[in-house]
């Protein structure tokens, strides 16, 4: 059994690679990513999870939003591979709760040269 009560996550992001989203990508990755991140709530959720992975209820408190709204944005962030279920906690009532964490460390949005180096301008979350 996992943890009996919510506690700090044991999610280890050190082995995760960064995700680079190139503005000039023709495959639509940038379009989909920007559609998901167009919402300030979604961005707040993602930033919160970079700071500390947590279940949806904790994230809702952090970003001052309803649990329903947070779950909606978490579903969209998961569909775009920006967050994932990384752990499971159990509430004091025994309810299983998914713990969300960023899929990648860090998320880098870039434009310009198509080489492997990342140079300004970039927006980095995390």
Set out the domains of the chain in order of their start, with CATH numbers: 24-125 (1.10.10.10)
Query: Which residues partner with 85 through β-bridges?
Result: 100
Give dist(CA 98, CA 86) in Å, integer: 8
Query: How far is Cα of residue 100 from the mean position of the Cα atoms in its chain?
Result: 7
Query: How far is Cα of residue 95 from the mean position of the Cα atoms in its chain?
Result: 23
- Assign 21 a pLDDT band (cuts: 50, 70, 90): confident
DSSP letter for each residue of 16-58: PPPEEEETT-TTSHHHHHHHHHTSHHHHHHHHHHHH--EEHHH
Q: Among residues of the chain, what percentage have pLDDT more than 90?
A: 49
What pTM did the predictor assign? Answer: 0.73
pLDDT digits (tens, 9 = 90+) for 47-81: 999 999 999 999 999 999 999 999 999 999 999 99
């Amino acid at each position: 059994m996992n943890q009996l009560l919510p506690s700090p996550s044991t999610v280890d992001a050190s082995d995760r690679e960064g995700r680079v989203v190139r503005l000039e990508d023709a495959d639509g990755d940038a379009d989909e990513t920007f559609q998901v991140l167009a919402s300030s709530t979604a961005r707040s959720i993602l930033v919160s999870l970079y700071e500390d992975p947590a279940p949806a209820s904790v994230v809702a408190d952090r970003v001052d939003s309803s649990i329903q709204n947070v779950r909606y944005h978490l579903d969209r962030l998961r569909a775009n591979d920006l967050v994932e279920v990384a752990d499971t906690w159990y509430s004091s009532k025994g309810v299983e709760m998914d713990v969300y964490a960023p899929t990648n460390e860090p998320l880098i949005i870039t434009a310009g040269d198509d080489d492997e180096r990342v140079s300004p301008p970039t927006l980095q979350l995390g």
